[in-house]
Amino acid sequence: MMTDAGREGFGEMPDGIPVERLTLRGGGLEAQVLTLGAIVQDLRLDGGTHPLVLGSDTVDGYLGPMAYFGAMVGRFANRIAGGRFEVDGTVHQVPCNAGGRHALHGGPQGSAQRVWRVVAQGADSVTLALRMPDGEMGFPGTLDVQVQISLPGEAALQFDITAQTDRATPCSFSHHGYFTLDDTGDLARHHLRIAAAQYLPVDDDLIPTGQIAPVAGTRFDFRAARSLHRLEVDHNFCLSPQRVPIRPVAWLDSRASGLGLRVDSTEPGLQVYTAPHLPPEGLAGLDGRRYGPFAGVALEAQVWPDAPNRPAFPPSILLPGARYNQCTRYSFAPVAGASAGPEPRRA
């Protein structure tokens, strides 16, 4: 039932908290945003016949194996080894929700699993807010985070994220959308280019080894556009040693549709995940679609994984009196041939 223009009910959480869906239109796009997890549930070009993201038509879909699809993940995106980190001489233990061994995306009650509060809504933007209390899941500090999701023009989807804390705490948020630029069901016709000369090798648990390795001569060299056909990737690409002014960081295109996507971000890292482990039988998706292996690619702008435990990695601890500011933008446009962009910078 519509509650007002551009705002409707989308179901309830298990505890009865209502979830709303907010419709944004502008700049050649239409986006459906949920108050659950600040999820971008659906995204389409004006006149387009297929979604540009993977999503669910029900709340239940997001409470199961699609928990992070399209969500704003945090308070620390990606992994923290052993769920342990030290801040100001105190060791903190947070839940290990990744195989019972490591913390993932802020734990089992991270920002993706929470219902956010609507602060403001216009025709082409919405601002959502969330308070994460001191001590929640073992994290120090009351963290207040806001995200403005907007359609600023030229077929762009933009995330402006701010956060403040009253105690030093890990802080890194990321939009965990899975993108698909055609309606073929997988990434076979997609090509990706990344402005990164280095990446983070990982162990069998996907925890960084601590090495910052050159991509040259490895399967992680995306400095020229490469096919994603059956390519298993779940790694961080090192864009810079710290947060910087927004700049282009990655380009994706589909040779099937002729559509391209450019990612611009302030963030020092880009986690790329090609979703090889989605079930062969598929997950129930939008408009009756089934999402199997390689159905979409996540391009997650963020601080590097396990940064709270790695002094050589970009800063990841937010201090009282400081302000976390991130801007990440996904822009769609027709392309001809391979993606193009400036030479990658070294981290």
Judge contact between 24 and 151, C-beta under 8 A.
yes
Coarse DSSP helix, strand, coil percentages of the chain, rounded to the nearest 5 percent: 5, 45, 50
Q: pLDDT > 70: what percent of the chain?
A: 95
Contact, 46 vs 59, CB < 8 A? Answer: no
In sign, the C-alpha dihedral spanning 226, 154, 329, 287 is: negative
Specify the pLDDT at position 336: 76
Q: What is the pLDDT of residue 139?
A: 98
Has residue 1 got a pLDDT over 90?
A: no
| Amino acid (one-letter) located at 32 | Q
* 103-104/143-150 β-pairing: unpaired
**Is 176 a residue of the active site?**
yes
Q: What is the pLDDT of residue 5?
A: 61
pLDDT value at 2 more than 50? no
The pTM assigned to this predicted structure is 0.95
Of the pLDDT bands very low, low, confident and very high (cuts 50, 70, 90), residue 189 is very high
Q: Residue range 143-161: average pLDDT?
A: 98
| Active site (annotated) includes residue 300 | yes
Q: Provide the 10 A C-beta neighbour count for residue 57.
A: 16
Kindly tell me the burial class for residue 7, based on how many C-beta atoms sit within 10 Å of its own C-beta (0-12, 13-18, 19 or more). middle
Return the closest-CA partner of residue 10 out of 117, 159, 18, 122.
Answer: 18
CB 138 within 8 A of CB 92: yes
What are the structural domain ranges in the chain?
2-188+272-331
Residue 342 pLDDT: 43
Peptide linkage before 345 cis (omega within 30 of 0): no
- Check residue 49 and give its pLDDT: 87
* Mean pLDDT for the chain overall: 95
> Can you tell me the mean pLDDT for 280-284?
97
| Total residues found in the chain within this entry | 347
Which pLDDT tens digit goes with each residue over 219-237? 999 999 999 999 999 999 9
- From 92, 102, 105, 176, active-site residue: 176
Per DSSP bridges, beta strands 143-150 and 125-132 are antiparallel
Q: Which of 14-28, 241-255, 332-346 has the lowest mean pLDDT?
A: 332-346
Fold for domain 2-188+272-331?
Beta-galactosidase; Chain A, domain 5 (2.70.98)
Residue 169 pLDDT exceeds 60: yes
Amino acid at 169: T
